[in-house]
């Protein structure tokens, strides 16, 4: 009998009823095969007890069994693409184009004093819509040339830019630019500034929908009306009035190019904030004008007309931030940006509730102490050297680092720079306690004796500290090592970037820390050697939800308790030799440091500790438009001792008020 297949078995001669089906034996099972093609392969896999996917791979040994074939790689890639396409389709179908004007209706951000009472509400978004027809063509071309030259021809999205941003976010790297004007408009108007894959995907989908529902002119108008230009300004109209005091329709091509430069980031390109910003803004302004020539939006002849940078107005604060309020907000915002991903643009968008550490009464007392001293000691109408005198001050609680009070200048609406948190003012002899602390630390470790240096006891440097003698501190720095002196100062809370070059005069105070940082660093001496990092915000909420990052900073030990105690005792001796005994008699636990009469610096400092507060006061001269510090010689009259008497008078007056 010949062997026949299963199909033949069923339909053999005599019909299907003439034969009975039987199960093949094992020998027949090894020789029989189902029909050729896909069915044969499936049956073969099932017979062998394997899945349809050949993995681990048959016929391979060792690690090669686990290496997928090119077909499997291709299949996995196609499945991934299909999954992403499905996810994109779901997201695209689920997102709607929100209301464009929702951001403009956002309520203000409210700042609160330490006691919970309201300090100020920074009002709703500063934005005035303007029709695109009223925006000069040159301003439009400046923005398009700078941000998205292919705006009128692209589909509204940049696939390459979005993919790069998502890959960077997934990898934990900083996102890069490359978004179209449409995408930027969507992000700034409809979405948060969060750097997440979900937000980026929503931005991409809404941008596509927007491009299908609105014309390019409508999108450009929306972008110009909602973009962030800094100084609290949303939109080209608000920016034109803020920076140049005119409406958008009156902007010339040069001014338009400067405003377009701000779209790259006003914190880095607002020319009124710093010299570095000014240099970046001017370079960007030139590039945008040249770029318009390249794109054909401006002729070379017209470009040649704009060679002088169009200087904008000086930065200013709204009237609601007059007095010290603007400076307090400045300190709080800087701290928030250090602890979170929030930007100035986010905060200006509004809706936040910010609780600060500022004490209303002590802020008022500090401001009054400065004003009284200015009235009594300075007369800029009679003495030209009394002009441009600036004062900065800050009170920090050593126990936890809370910034309790700040004096940033006469009025935040007239003097934009915050003198309490500025750099560039040499600290002079007020730096010497850090040299003394470094020497005592070395002495306690026994390392100085091995260097052939006589032990530096607290009494050994206390005398020169009181007498404001320089040579002993220069010598101590040489023997100890300037790097160790710097490290000691930084360990107490001074910033590394405020430290001067390590030259022989370094121990004499060539570094330029801020008043807030000096108050915090001196607090280490009065806190048993524990550093309390200055902080100014205790809580930030939005829509009832707390934003993380505002836990109270730790207070690590950075020097031996005995070292801190010795330095504090030496500073106490400084205080009682410099302060007016009548005014100082009611102050308890006074300790202080000052800029000495022998200092040739163009600044004067006094740091005092009383009533559980460490307060730093600095005085210097500087013109409103910046530039180098001016001499203090003769300020306040011939008996001013180069201005060194004024900071200690301010501190004594303030400390008595607080006590």
pLDDT tens-digit readout, 524-564: 999 999 999 999 999 999 988 999 999 999 999 999 999 99
Do the bridges between strand 109-112 and strand 228-230 make them parallel or antiparallel, or are there none, so unpaired? unpaired
Distance CA(557)–CA(42), nearest Å, equals: 72
Distance CA(644)–CA(605), nearest Å, equals: 7
Least confident range from 217-231, 522-536, 562-576, 633-647: namely 633-647
Distance CA(367)–CA(657), nearest Å, equals: 11
pLDDT at 72 exceeding the cut of 50: yes
Least confident range from 1-10, 190-199, 388-397: namely 1-10
Higher per-residue confidence, 463 vs 5: 463
Q: Are 560 and 444 in contact (CB under 8 A)?
A: yes
Region 35-49: mean pLDDT is 54
Higher per-residue confidence, 128 vs 589: 128
pLDDT at 183 exceeding the cut of 80: yes
Region 41-55: mean pLDDT is 55
- What is the 8-class DSSP label of residue 406? E
**DSSP codes, 205-259:** HHHHHHHHHS-HHHHHHHHHHH-EEETTEESHHHHHHHHHSS-GGG--HHHHHHH
Q: Is 543 left (phi over 0), alpha (psi -120 to 50) or beta?
A: left
pLDDT at 173 exceeding the cut of 60: no
Distance CA(235)–CA(215), nearest Å, equals: 19
Region 430-442: mean pLDDT is 94
Which residues on adjacent β-strands are paired with residue 122? Answer: 109
Confidence (pLDDT) at 2: 47
* Residue 85 burial (CB count, 10 A): 10
Both tokens of 606, joined, read: 């006094």
Least confident range from 91-95, 204-208, 500-504, 554-558: namely 91-95
Q: Report in angstroms the alpha-carbon separations of 482 from 438, 488, 495, 513.
A: 10, 10, 16, 17
pLDDT category at 78 given cuts 50, 70, 90 is confident
Both tokens of 161, joined, read: 């830019």
Cβ partners under 8 Å of residue 620, min gap 6: 389, 390, 425, 602, 603, 604, 629, 630, 632
pLDDT at 569 exceeding the cut of 70: yes
pLDDT at 15 exceeding the cut of 50: no
Q: Report in angstroms the alpha-carbon separations of 526 from 46, 56, 589, 609.
A: 81, 69, 10, 8
Confidence (pLDDT) at 87: 64
Higher per-residue confidence, 563 vs 17: 563
Both tokens of 151, joined, read: 């705006």
Q: Are 441 and 482 in contact (CB under 8 A)?
A: no
Confidence (pLDDT) at 429: 92
Confidence (pLDDT) at 53: 64
Distance CA(306)–CA(303), nearest Å, equals: 6
Do the bridges between strand 118-122 and strand 591-594 make them parallel or antiparallel, or are there none, so unpaired? unpaired
Q: Domains of the chain by range and CATH?
A: 6-52 (no CATH), 125-303 (1.10.3810.10), 421-658 (3.40.710.10)
Region 610-627: mean pLDDT is 90
pLDDT at 216 exceeding the cut of 70: yes
**Residue-wise pLDDT tens digits, 243-294:** 999 999 999 999 999 999 999 999 999 999 888 999 999 999 999 999 999 9
- Please choose, from the candidates 470, 438, 467, the residue with its C-alpha nearest in 3D space to the C-alpha of residue 577: 467
Distance CA(591)–CA(572), nearest Å, equals: 4
Q: Report in angstroms the alpha-carbon separations of 59 from 30, 56, 406.
A: 19, 10, 78
Confidence (pLDDT) at 176: 46
Cβ partners under 8 Å of residue 522, min gap 6: 433, 492, 571, 593, 607, 609, 614, 616
Confidence (pLDDT) at 474: 95
**Could you tell me how many residues make up the chain?**
659
DSSP, collapsed to helix, strand or coil, labels residue 621 as: strand
Confidence (pLDDT) at 94: 58
Distance CA(464)–CA(479), nearest Å, equals: 17
- What is the 8-class DSSP label of residue 18? S
Region 630-659: mean pLDDT is 84
Confidence (pLDDT) at 372: 96
Q: Are 419 and 431 in contact (CB under 8 A)?
A: no
Region 189-213: mean pLDDT is 72
Q: Are 185 and 151 in contact (CB under 8 A)?
A: no
Query: Rounded to an integer, what is the distance from CA 56 to the centroid of its chain?
Result: 51
Region 579-583: mean pLDDT is 66
Distance CA(427)–CA(107), nearest Å, equals: 42
Both tokens of 345, joined, read: 């643009």
Cβ partners under 8 Å of residue 372, min gap 6: 653
Average per-residue pLDDT for the chain = 83
Q: Report in angstroms the alpha-carbon separations of 94 from 80, 158, 201.
A: 21, 21, 12
Cβ partners under 8 Å of residue 290, min gap 6: 303
Distance CA(601)–CA(349), nearest Å, equals: 42
Region 619-635: mean pLDDT is 87
Cβ partners under 8 Å of residue 159, min gap 6: none
Q: Report in angstroms the alpha-carbon separations of 524 from 280, 422, 440, 490, 616.
A: 38, 21, 15, 11, 14
pLDDT at 137 exceeding the cut of 50: yes
Which residues on adjacent β-strands are paired with residue 540? Answer: 354
Distance CA(78)–CA(65), nearest Å, equals: 22
Region 187-216: mean pLDDT is 74
Distance CA(79)–CA(38), nearest Å, equals: 21
Least confident range from 3-7, 57-61, 277-281, 583-587: namely 3-7
Cross-sheet strand order for the sheet of 545-546: 118-122, 109-112, 352-356, 537-542, 545-546
Confidence (pLDDT) at 7: 41
Confidence (pLDDT) at 198: 67
Confidence (pLDDT) at 12: 43
Confidence (pLDDT) at 657: 81
- What is the 8-class DSSP label of residue 616? E
Dihedral of the CA atoms 140, 145, 148, 153 (nearest 10)? 80
Region 351-366: mean pLDDT is 96
Q: pTM to 2 decimals? A: 0.76
pLDDT category at 76 given cuts 50, 70, 90 is confident
Region 447-465: mean pLDDT is 63
Furthest C-alpha separation in the chain: 135
């Amino acid at each position: 009998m010949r062997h026949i297949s299963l199909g033949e078995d069923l339909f053999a001669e005599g019909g299907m009823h003439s034969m009975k089906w039987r199960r093949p034996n094992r020998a027949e099972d090894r020789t029989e095969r189902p029909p050729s093609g896909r069915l044969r392969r499936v049956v073969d896999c099932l017979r062998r007890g394997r899945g349809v996917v050949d993995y681990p791979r048959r016929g391979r040994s060792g690690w090669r069994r686990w290496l997928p074939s090119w077909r499997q790689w291709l299949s996995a890639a196609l499945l991934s693409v299909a999954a992403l396409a499905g996810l994109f389709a779901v997201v695209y179908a689920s997102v709607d184009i929100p209301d464009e004007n929702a951001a403009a209706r956002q309520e203000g951000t409210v700042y609160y004093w330490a006691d919970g009472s309201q300090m100020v509400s920074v009002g709703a978004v500063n934005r005035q819509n303007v029709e695109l027809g009223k925006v000069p063509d040159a301003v439009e071309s400046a923005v398009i040339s700078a941000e998205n030259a292919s705006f009128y021809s692209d589909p509204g999205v940049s696939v390459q830019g979005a993919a790069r941003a998502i890959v960077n976010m997934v990898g934990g790297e900083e996102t890069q630019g490359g978004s179209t004007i449409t995408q930027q408009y969507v992000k700034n108007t409809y979405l948060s500034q969060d750097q997440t894959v979900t937000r980026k995907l929503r931005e991409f989908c809404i941008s596509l929908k927007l491009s299908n529902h609105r014309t390019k002119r409508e999108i450009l108008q929306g972008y110009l009306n909602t973009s962030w230009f800094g100084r609290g300004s949303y939109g080209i109209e608000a920016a034109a009035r803020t920076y140049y005091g005119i409406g958008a329709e009156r902007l010339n091509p040069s001014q338009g190019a400067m405003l377009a430069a701000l779209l790259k980031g006003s914190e880095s390109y607002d020319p009124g904030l710093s010299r570095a910003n000014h240099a970046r803004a001017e370079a960007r302004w030139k590039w945008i004008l040249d770029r318009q020539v390249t794109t054909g939006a401006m002729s070379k002849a017209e470009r040649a007309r704009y060679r002088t940078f169009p200087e904008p107005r000086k930065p200013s604060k709204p009237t609601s931030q007059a007095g010290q309020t603007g400076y307090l907000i400045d300190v709080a915002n800087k701290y928030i940006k250090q602890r979170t991903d929030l930007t100035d643009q986010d905060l200006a968008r509004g809706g936040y509730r910010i609780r600060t550490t500022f004490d209303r009464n002590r802020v008022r007392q500090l401001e009054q102490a400065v004003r009284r001293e200015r009235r009594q000691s300075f007369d800029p109408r009679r003495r030209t050297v009394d002009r441009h005198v600036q004062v900065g001050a800050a009170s920090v609680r050593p126990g936890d680092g809370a910034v309790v009070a700040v004096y940033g200048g006469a009025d935040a609406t007239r003097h934009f720079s915050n003198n309490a948190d500025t750099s560039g003012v040499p600290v002079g002899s007020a730096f010497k306690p850090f040299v003394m602390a470094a020497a005592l630390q070395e002495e306690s470790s026994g390392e100085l004796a091995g260097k052939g240096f006589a032990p530096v006891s607290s009494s050994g440097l206390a005398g020169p500290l009181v007498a404001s003698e320089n040579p002993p501190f220069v010598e101590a720095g040489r023997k100890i090592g300037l790097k160790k002196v710097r490290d000691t100062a930084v360990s107490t809370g001074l910033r590394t970037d405020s430290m001067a070059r390590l030259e022989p005069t370094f121990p004499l105070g060539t570094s330029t820390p801020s008043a807030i940082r000096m108050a915090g660093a001196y607090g280490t001496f009065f806190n048993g050697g524990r550093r309390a990092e200055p902080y100014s915000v205790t809580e930030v909420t939005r829509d009832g939800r707390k934003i993380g990052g505002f836990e109270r900073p730790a207070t690590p030990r950075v020097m031996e308790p005995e070292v801190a105690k010795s330095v504090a005792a030496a500073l106490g001796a400084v205080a009682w030799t410099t302060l007016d005994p009548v005014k100082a008699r009611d102050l308890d636990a006074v300790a202080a440091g000052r800029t000495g009469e022998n200092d040739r610096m163009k600044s004067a400092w006094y740091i005092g500790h009383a009533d559980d507060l460490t307060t730093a006061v600095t005085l210097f001269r500087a013109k409103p438009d910046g530039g180098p510090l001016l001499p203090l010689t003769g300020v306040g009259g011939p008996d001013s001792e180069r201005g060194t008497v004024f900071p200690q008078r301010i501190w004594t007056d303030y400390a008595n008020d607080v006590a």
